[in-house]
Structure formats: C-alpha cells, structure tokens
A and B are shown apart, each in its own frame.
Chain A
C-alpha cells in the first residue's frame, strides 16, 4: 500500500521535473474523477473544466512537503478548494446564498454524462445539500480518508461519518425510487 503511494509520488515528482510521460499517466489517472468532483461542486461544466485545468497547473507548481497522503487526495484537495471558490463566485453573480447546486446543474450533468444510469446517479448526488454532497464528493471523487475530510472541512470526524452515511442513504433512496437500484 505504502509502496504504491510512494511510486505515485515518484511519478508526480518526475512530472514536475518535466517528464511528459509521467505527466500523461498522472493526468489520465486523475482527470475524470477530478472533473466529476468539480462538476458536482460547481454545477457547471465550463467551471469544472477550468477547475480541472487549474488543479493540474497548481499541482505542477506546488512544492510538496508532505507525501504521507495519496497523490489523489492531494489533487482532490486542490480541486475541491478551487471548485468551492468557483461555486461561491458563480452564486454571488446570480445572488443566491450558499453553495448548493444551482438550478441548471442537472442540465449541465446531462451534457457530459452519456450513460443514463450515470445521469440518474449524478442527479441524486446533485440533489443533496452542500454539507452532505461535499463529504460524499471528497470521499468518492477526491480520494480523501474520513480524517482528511474532517481536516479539509474543519468538522469533527464523527460528523464526517454521519454525513457520509446520510449522503449515501439519501442517494440510495432516490435511486431506488427511480428504479436504478433494486
């Protein structure tokens, strides 16, 4: 396990030194999940694209001091922070408080999700309130441990566990109603 983490960081360090191949491996491995993360948090495909791009730009420039976590979690943290900032900016422009998904979110998701089942799942996630959605997104798409989520969000570990539980429970309920899950 630890060896896998170390080799990921070695790949990351090569990419930072200009190794094109290592870079491609890294991008290919992480971009889809990061795109999903950004999409769920911002509710906009354009914003999600920008967030993913900016995440990789910042990762390339970052000075890595701590490699005890995973590369995935590291990228997930950058993407999450950028996405929240972007979501706040988007909401401010239309004058809606909070960072819950905007009305147009479902349409945006439909655009980039070819798979019908994926669309319904994404709709269930997008329908969560921001608190629960963010924990779910960080866990499943940001590659965070519960401890890391607690740190990133500044909430107690128990709260994180309770939120992931209710987030998934709610999604399952929605998806059962729609006949996606039995």
Chain B
C-alpha cells in the first residue's frame, strides 16, 4: 500500500481535490491507513491555525441598530415567513406521503371538540385522522 503524499492529503483536507475520482481514491486509502489518517489530522490542525488568527478587537465604536422604516421591515418579515414555510414544507414533504388534504370550513365548524388537550389542534392538518381525508375531499 503506497502512502499518500503531502500534496494529496493537503488538497483533500482543503476539499480542493480536482477530480472526484481522485478524491474517492484518497478517501478509500484513508479508511485503510491509520498513518495517513494521523497525518491528515495534524494537517487539519495546522489549517485551523492558519484560519484562526484573532486580532484583539479594539473598542472601536460600532453602529447601533436603528429601527428601519416599516415597509422594509414588513418585506423582511414576509420573506422570513416564506422561508420558514418553504422549510416546513420540505420537512413535512420528506416524511409524509402527500395526500390530498382539504380542510373545509364545514369540517372545522361541525366537528366535535377533540378530547382533552388535543382540542386546540383541530385546525392542524396533521391532527386530522386519515379517515376524514376522503370524506373531506369529496
């Protein structure tokens, strides 16, 4: 087994190996070779040192936030909400198979309050028993 040279390990540590084939080859070797793993680790520590210079921050006055005009704030809030919606959508979508869920106002109004603490969750689509789905969408 030929060990990997310094340059190969450095490129690997920096995630800057040019071809995927080469990267996979180095990864395979590292799995099998504890010597090269140890060399990679010490190389990473050196990279951390190069990336970790901390100048002492003098107490230069930094600006204080000033409340922005409400329009811009509203846009930001909307953007944040959309972002959260998208993320939530992804989260649900990846776990639960999509089913047609249509919550009609009639359902919400006429359903009897669920027992106990679950009562407040009526409007939450995930809390609706699967049996209702077809009924609702019809």
In the bound complex, residues from chain A placing their C-beta under 8 Å from that of B47 are 168
Neighbour of B58 across the interface among A19, A49, A121, A162, CB < 8 A = A49
Among residues of B, the one whose C-beta sits closest to the C-beta of A27 is B62
In the bound complex, residues from chain B placing their C-beta under 8 Å from that of A15 are 65
Neighbour of B64 across the interface among A6, A20, A125, CB < 8 A = A20
Q: Is the CB of A53 within 8 A of B60?
A: yes
> B34 to chain A: closest CB distance in Å?
19
Q: Is the CB of A56 within 8 A of B46?
A: no
Rounded to whole angstroms, the CA-CA distance of A22 and B64 in the bound complex is 11
Q: Is the CB of B10 within 8 A of A60?
A: no
In the bound complex, residues from chain A placing their C-beta under 8 Å from that of B65 are 15-20, 22-23, 60
A1-37 residues at the B interface, CB under 8 angstroms? 2-3, 6, 9-10, 13, 15-20, 22-23, 27, 31-32, 35-36
> B67 to chain A: closest CB distance in Å?
4
Among residues of A, the one whose C-beta sits closest to the C-beta of B7 is A169
Neighbour of B80 across the interface among A10, A60, A118, CB < 8 A = A10
A155 within 8 A of B: no
Neighbour of A6 across the interface among B11, B16, B84, CB < 8 A = B84
How many of chain A's residues have a CB under 8 angstroms from any CB in B?
Answer: 60
In the bound complex, residues from chain B placing their C-beta under 8 Å from that of A64 are 76, 79
Q: Give the A-B pair count, Cβ closer than 8 A.
A: 127
- Please classify how large the interface on chain B is, using the bins under 10, 10 to 19, 20 to 34, 35 or more: 35 or more
Known contacts A20-B65, A31-B57, A164-B14: A121-B49 contact under CB 8 Å: yes
Q: Is the CB of B50 within 8 A of A125?
A: yes
Among residues of B, the one whose C-beta sits closest to the C-beta of A160 is B16
Among residues of A, the one whose C-beta sits closest to the C-beta of B66 is A18
A67 within 8 A of B: yes
A125-182 residues at the B interface, CB under 8 angstroms? 125, 136, 139-141, 146, 158, 161-162, 164-165, 168-169, 171-172, 175, 180-182
In the bound complex, residues from chain B placing their C-beta under 8 Å from that of A27 are 62
> A81 to chain B: closest CB distance in Å?
18
In the bound complex, residues from chain B placing their C-beta under 8 Å from that of A101 are none
Q: Could you list which residues of chain B lie within 8 angstroms of chain A, going by C-beta atoms?
A: 7, 10-11, 14-16, 18, 42, 46-47, 49-58, 60-68, 72-73, 75-77, 79-80, 83-84, 87
Q: Is the CB of A165 within 8 A of B11?
A: yes
A41 within 8 A of B: no
Q: Which of A71-79, A89-97, A109-117 contacts the other chain?
A: A109-117
Additional 16 contacts, C-beta under 8 A, given A9-B80, A67-B83, A121-B49: A6-B83, A16-B72, A17-B73, A18-B65, A23-B65, A35-B57, A53-B63, A113-B54, A161-B14, A165-B11, A165-B16, A168-B47, A172-B10, A175-B46, A181-B49, A182-B42
Q: Is the CB of B63 within 8 A of A113?
A: no
Rounded to whole angstroms, the CA-CA distance of A60 and B73 in the bound complex is 12
Q: Which of B7, B42, B62, B73 has the most CB of A within 10 A?
A: B62
